[in-house]
């Protein structure tokens, strides 16, 4: 019985936990509840993935109304995987969050952080699981509003402006999505994703459907911070509390990318997206520009969190690059990188959270000599950084490998070369941190700095070990990503 109800529970458990955290009105209790809810969500998503891999896509009718009249949850390989990424990152980062949040957020707001966290998780999971486009909009707004709040709760006053800017950009993006949905509804009369997919081909030569496509792509692209629609991201990541940056880096943009995949492949179909609209010709240059511009800008950042923000934009570029190749290997690389990038970025932000906890700053100059005073933290940072660069035996290598194979499959030698060159840029910005941490001259305060407490280090190292584990044993990730890519591309035929 409980098995058939898992799709509903996946979202409803954090949804119930959110308001309950507010009612508890107690920092530690709220944290305890939110953490348990996150872990339960992780186990549910594992069970769902298992079920999907064993028996194929799951459909769940909310309210007992059949689609397209009611709202349907539809889980196949790709969103089961995305659900796993979101709930996994949330579960690990929230375990780390308690010490870090108590340090970085005003004590009377701590329970609100967990309320917001649960709401954000509800929103993200809701977007990933649903099979109804308007339901996507509603849950997108839940996750967005709670992220504006979470960013602004930081003690840094610049977080306020970052949150405000994100709010304005996010709302424009959401309204664009709303316009796109309206145009699609006009032409098809339905909001259900599979129903849309069935009805779009008969109207696919109308200008309306094409413009709807453009608006949806732009709106979701804004949310995903696809270059050149990324302006809100670096400050939002830089000034948010560390645990929140880790959560967002691992989940928020990933969900938006998933939505793009959903619209491109499932709803519109490969033929429309890439043959009628020639989307790959726009995506490819955008992805490359994103990778090179953002990586270069990252090199010149003095605030390390901001640097990682720019690096995220570049990494989103790799994902888009994989999509733009429109082959099973390319899309596999994109989906793999969704997972792998979530792991490495979360690990890096969590490690920076440890630094911030002891040093009170993550500016480059303040990190001088920290490699010796906080060996475990910086060790984790170095490993995470190597993963970001794409050194063998880390997850970063796996993503790059599949990307390069995909490029070579299509005889695009130059593209494979560019991917390699761009990795050198990543090496440069990661090296600049390592350089100052191990070879910089320590400041006066450095003797007071101690290693971060175990409550922070353990989750950091869990993430780092995951980075290495999934870099060696790729059977789970590559297997699922490949099946998901085949399912996405298979819909066209």
Partner 1 sequence: MQVFGLYNYWVVIILMMIGLYVVIASGNLIKKIVGLNIFQTSVFILYISIGKLDRGTAPILVEGVTSYSNPLPHVLILTAIVVGVATTALGLALAVRIYGAYGSIEEDEIQKQDNAS
Partner 2 sequence: MLSLLTVTALAVARLDQLFAAVMLFGIYSLLSAALFVVMDAVDVAFTEAAVGAGISIILMLGALALTSREQRPVPRSRHWIALVVVVVTGAGLIYGTLDIPLYADPNAPAHLHVAPRYLQQSMQEIGIPNVVTSVLASYRGYDTLGETVVIFTAAVGVIGRLGVATEGRIEPKTGGLEHYLILRITAKFMLPLILVFALYVQFHGDFGPGGGFQAGVIFASAFILYGLVFGMENVTAVAPPVVVRSLAAIGVLIYAGVGVVSLLMGSNFLDYNILGHEPTHGQHLGIFLVEFGVGVTVAASMISLFYAYASYQREK
Residue 202, judged by CB atoms within 10 A of its CB (0-12, 13-18, 19+), counts as exposed
Least separation in angstroms between residue 135's CB and partner 2 is: 6
Give the three-class secondary structure for 218.
Answer: helix
Residue 134 or 401: which CB sits closer to partner 1? 134
- If you write DSSP's letter for every residue of 184-210 in order, what string do you get? HHHHHS--BHHHHHHHHHHHTTSHHHH
Q: Which stretch binds partner 2 (CB under 8 A): 131-139, 306-314, 358-366, 430-438?
A: 131-139
116 binds, among partner 1, partner 2, none (CB under 5 to 8 A by kind): partner 2
Within 10 Å of residue 70's Cβ, how many Cβ atoms?
A: 13
Residue 454, contacted partner among partner 1, partner 2, none, CB below 5-8 A by kind: none
Instruction: Rule CB under 8 A: choose which of 186, 203, 420, 454 binds partner 1.
Output: 186
Could you tell me which stretch among 67-75, 80-88, 355-363, 379-387 binds partner 2 (CB under 8 A)? 67-75
Taking the C-alpha atoms of residue 299 and residue 135, their distance in angstroms, rounded to an integer, is 40
Cβ atoms of 72 and 131 within 8 Å: the answer is yes
Q: CA angle, corner 35, sides to 105 and 37, nearest 5? A: 130
48: its two tokens: 């769902």
Partner whose footprint covers residue 171, from partner 1, partner 2, none (CB < 5 to 8 Å by kind): partner 1
Asked if residue 203 binds partner 1 (CB under 8 A), the reply is no
217 binds partner 2 (CB under 8 A): no
DSSP string, 469-482: HHHH--HHHHHHHH
- Distance CA(294)–CA(314), nearest Å, equals 5
Which residues between 126 and 155 bind partner 1 (CB under 8 A)? Answer: 134, 137-138, 141, 145, 148-149, 152
CB 255, min distance to partner 2, A: 15
* Distance, first Cα to last Cα, the chain: 35
If one asks whether residue 165 binds partner 2 (CB under 8 A), the answer comes out as no
Per partner kind, with CB cut-offs from 5 to 8 A, the member of partner 2, partner 1, none near residue 248 is none
CA angle 160, 290, 461 (to 5 degrees): 65
Binding to partner 2 by residue 201, rule CB under 8 A? no
CB contact at 8 A, 307 and 427: no
Cβ closest to partner 1, residue 219 vs residue 396: 219
Q: Which of residues 17-36 bind partner 2 (CB under 8 A)?
A: 18-20, 22-23, 25
Q: Which residue has the tokens 């790059």?
A: 400
Q: Say whether residue 68 binds partner 2 (CB under 8 A).
A: yes
- Pick one of partner 2, partner 1, none as the site partner of residue 161 (Cβ within 5 to 8 A by kind): partner 1
Choose which of 32, 36, 47, 141 interacts with partner 2 (CB under 8 A): 141
Q: Which stretch binds partner 2 (CB under 8 A): 16-24, 77-85, 312-320, 425-433?
A: 16-24
Residues in the chain: 493
Interface with partner 1 includes 182 (CB under 8 A)? Answer: yes
> Taking the CB of residue 16, how many other CB atoms lie within 10 A of it?
15
| Residue reference for tokens 């299509």 | 410
- Of 212, 185, 319, which Cα lies nearest the Cα of 258? 319
**DSSP summary character for residue 492:** T
Question: Quick one: which of 81, 96, 117, 148 contacts partner 2 (CB under 8 A)?
Answer: 148
Beta bridge partners of 74: 59
135 binds partner 2 (CB under 8 A): yes
Distance CA 276, CA 160 (A): 43
Q: Name which of 133 and 343 has its Cβ closer to partner 1.
A: 133
Q: Which residues bind partner 1 (CB under 8 A)?
A: 134, 137-138, 141, 145, 148-149, 152, 157-158, 160-161, 163-164, 167-168, 171-172, 175, 178-179, 182, 185-186, 191
Q: Which residues bind partner 2 (CB under 8 A)?
A: 1, 5, 8, 12, 15-16, 18-20, 22-23, 25, 60-65, 68-71, 108-109, 112, 115-116, 119, 122, 126, 134-135, 138-139, 141-142, 145-146, 148-149, 152-153, 179, 183, 185-191, 199, 203, 206-208, 210-212, 214-215
């Amino acid at each position: 019985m409980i098995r058939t109800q898992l799709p509903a529970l996946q979202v409803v458990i954090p949804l119930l936990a959110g308001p309950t955290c507010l009612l508890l009105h107690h920092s530690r209790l709220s944290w305890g509840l939110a953490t348990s809810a996150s872990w339960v969500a992780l186990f549910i998503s594992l069970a769902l993935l298992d079920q999907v891999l064993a028996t194929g896509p799951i459909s769940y009718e909310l309210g007992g109304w059949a689609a397209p009249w009611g709202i349907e949850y539809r889980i196949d390989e790709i969103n089961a995987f995305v659900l796993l990424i979101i709930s996994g990152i949330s579960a690990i980062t929230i375990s780390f969050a308690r010490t870090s949040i108590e340090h970085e957020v005003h004590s009377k707001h701590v329970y609100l952080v967990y309320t917001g966290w649960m709401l954000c998780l509800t929103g993200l999971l809701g977007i990933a699981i649903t099979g109804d486009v308007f339901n996507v909009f509603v849950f997108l707004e839940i996750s967005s509003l709670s992220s504006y709040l979470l960013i602004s709760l930081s003690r840094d006053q610049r977080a306020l402006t970052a949150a405000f800017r994100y709010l304005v950009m996010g709302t424009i993006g959401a309204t664009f999505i709303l316009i796109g949905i309206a145009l699609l509804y006009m032409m098809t009369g339905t909001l259900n994703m599979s129903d849309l997919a069935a009805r779009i081909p008969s109207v696919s030569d109308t200008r309306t459907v094409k413009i709807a496509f453009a608006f949806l792509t732009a709106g979701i692209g804004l949310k995903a911070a696809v270059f050149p629609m990324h302006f809100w991201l670096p400050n939002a990541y830089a000034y948010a509390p560390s645990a929140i940056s880790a959560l967002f880096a691992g989940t928020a943009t990933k969900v938006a990318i998933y939505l793009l995949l959903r619209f491109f492949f499932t709803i519109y179909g490969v033929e429309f997206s890439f043959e009628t609209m020639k989307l790959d010709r726009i995506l490819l240059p955008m992805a490359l520009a994103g990778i090179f511009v953002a990586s270069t800008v990252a090199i010149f950042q003095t605030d390390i969190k901001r640097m990682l923000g720019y690096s995220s934009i570049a990494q989103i570029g790799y994902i888009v690059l994989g999509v733009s190749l429109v082959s099973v290997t390319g899309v596999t690389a994109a989906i793999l990188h969704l997972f792998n990038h979530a792991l490495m970025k979360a690990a890096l932000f969590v490690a920076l959270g440890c630094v911030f906890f002891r040093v009170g700053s993550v500016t480059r100059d303040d990190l001088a000599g920290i490699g010796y005073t906080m060996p475990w933290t910086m060790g984790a940072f170095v490993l995470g950084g190597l993963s970001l660069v794409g050194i063998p035996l880390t997850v970063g290598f796996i993503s790059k490998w599949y990307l390069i194979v995909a490029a070579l499959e299509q005889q695009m030698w130059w593209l494979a070369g560019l991917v390699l060159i761009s990795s050198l840029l990543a090496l440069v910005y990661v090296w600049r941190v390592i350089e100052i941490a191990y070879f910089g001259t320590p400041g006066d305060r450095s003797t007071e700095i101690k290693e971060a407490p175990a409550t922070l280090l353990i989750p950091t190292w869990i993430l780092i070990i995951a980075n290495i584990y999934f870099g060696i044993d790729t059977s789970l990730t590559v297997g699922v990503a490949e099946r998901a890519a085949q399912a996405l591309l298979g819909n066209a035929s």
